[in-house]
Structure 1
Amino acid sequence: MAANRARGQRAGLTRQAVLEAALRLVDQEGLKALSMRRLGAELGVEAMTLYHHVPNKVALLDGVIEQVVAEAVPPEFGAATWRADLSAYAHALVAALNAHPHTVPLLLSRAAMTPRNLRTLEAVVGMLHGAGFSLPRSLDVLYSLTSFVVGHAAAQAGRVDGAGDMASLDPAAYPLLVTAAREAGEDAAEARFDFALDALLSGFEEERAATSATG
């Protein structure tokens, strides 16, 4: 075991380097290509060397999610208004997921409770609580926002956007759907995301205001 550790150290590997390589592999070939053996080959080390940095495949998958989420985290939550912070986070997260579409199924299926991700969640909840949301409601806001963003990214990754298909339907049979889809245009997904995000944030604001008024 000591010899294996020495080989890993000589290879100059760190947990961060392993996770970055894993994300690159997923981006290039999809989740099915990710295995300890294949990742070791990409890094030029034996698979066993990787276990000094990630204990198992589960930890590796959680680490891949961590890398994607890290791309969406602003330098400091609370630097702007809570609404501006959440909006920036949502846009950054959907951009990260669009850049790494093969990772979207992971976010749909895993909590990925790594220390780094938990620190991000703690920062968001702290920012929301400081803005006047109760602690339970702060967590509700965070989960609602994340679910919306990941769902939107999943639809984009799977090319599940009915508007494009609706525009090509028979206008005699479905005049309203066809007209709406054509007026929205081919690049309506981003505008639709902004519309839904603004509606969510407005709902959160109403909840915060109501809580402040009764508190």
Structure 2
Amino acid sequence: MTNIESMRATRAPLTRERVLAAAVALADAEGIAAVTMRRVAGELGVEAMSLYHHLPGKADLLDGLVDVVAAEVATEIAGRDLPAEDWRAEVSARCLTARTVMLRHPWAPGLMGSRSTVPPVVYGLYEGVVGAMVRGGLSYRLAHRALHALGSMVLGFTQEVFRPAEAGGSLEPELAEAGLAAIVDALPYTAAMITTEMHDATDPVLGWCDSQTEFEFTLDLLLDGLERARA
């Protein structure tokens, strides 16, 4: 047997899971823009056409990435000892656990917001939150309103009001300065707030302005209000 034949014989078979794992690793390393059928195939050492047996096109590849990350969130939550005796603590733990996954894949929030379909596993994540709230004494009506208020926080991130860069990107410093200079005269309070609140490079962010501190502040604020409404 030649060396090439030996390599082919020992190479793991190409599967949907292997393709998606390679795509996730590529997105983590270089950002979602780097994820193409050709690049993923190159990472796997195969021809791009080989991928189409498992994922018919780029849209299917991106949908698959959302599946993988959402499943990772579900697995992380399932592996935790959630404080089931305290609905507020359980919901908070679910949201914060999801956030740890999103911070590993900063491209994921933007990608999730761009897809036209919702993976079944995402519904399961929201089901867990609804269950915690109902068991804790919230009515289904209040739980429904809570889901609207929590929004994407159940998935570990917050939707940005302004999205200067899609799929988990950030605003370049020079663009931020140019934008600030343009609004400083017309919107002095907003400009002062932005200047004061510019995030440190070490602050965990998803997107332009989604720090850990802001995420936890908003989450606590919502849960405090829901507790008052429940009571």
Instruction: Give the TM-score taking structure 1 as reference length.
Output: 0.66
Going from structure 1 to structure 2, the CA distance change for 1:117 and 1:178 (only over 3 Å counts) comes to closer
Does the CA contact (< 8 Å) of 1:41 and 1:47 recur in 2? yes
Counterparts of residues 31-42 of structure 1 (less than 5 Å): 31-42=32-43
Correspondence for 1:113 among 99, 118, 130:
118
Q: 2:228 is paired with a residue of what secondary structure? A: helix
Correspondence for 1:151 among 150, 155, 159:
159
**Cα offset, 1:20, TM superposition:** 1.8
* In 1, Cα distance between equivalents of 2:49 and 2:193: 58
* In 2, Cα distance between equivalents of 1:185 and 1:110: 29
Match of 1:87 in 2: 92
With CA pairs under 8 Å and 6+ residues apart, which has the higher RCO, 1 or 2? 2
Does the CA contact (< 8 Å) of 2:67 and 2:121 recur in 1? yes
Match of 1:4 in 2: none
Match of 1:212 in 2: none
* In 2, Cα distance between equivalents of 1:143 and 1:23: 29
Q: Does 1:128 align with 2:150?
A: no
Match of 1:3 in 2: none
* In 2, Cα distance between equivalents of 1:86 and 1:69: 17
Q: 1:101 is paired with a residue of what secondary structure? A: coil
Q: Does 1:203 align with 2:204?
A: no
Match of 1:75 in 2: 78
Does the CA contact (< 8 Å) of 2:82 and 2:93 recur in 1? no
Instruction: Give the TM-score taking structure 2 as reference length.
Output: 0.63
Q: Does 1:96 align with 2:118?
A: no
Per-residue Cα deviation, 1:143-170 (whole angstroms, up to 9, x for no partner): 4324353326x7985259xxx98xxxx9
Structure 2: 5+ residue stretches without partners: 1-7, 178-183, 204-210
How many residues align structurally? 198
Structure 1: 5+ residue stretches without partners: 1-6, 210-215
Percent identity of paired positions between Structure 1 and Structure 2? 37
Does the CA contact (< 8 Å) of 1:108 and 1:150 recur in 2? no
**Cα offset, 1:181, TM superposition:** 7.2
Q: Which amino acid aligns with 1:109?
A: S
Going from structure 1 to structure 2, the CA distance change for 1:179 and 1:115 (only over 3 Å counts) comes to closer
What do you get for the CA RMSD once the two structures are aligned? 4.2
The answer to which structure has the higher helix fraction is 1
Does the CA contact (< 8 Å) of 1:77 and 1:85 recur in 2? no
Match of 1:192 in 2: 214
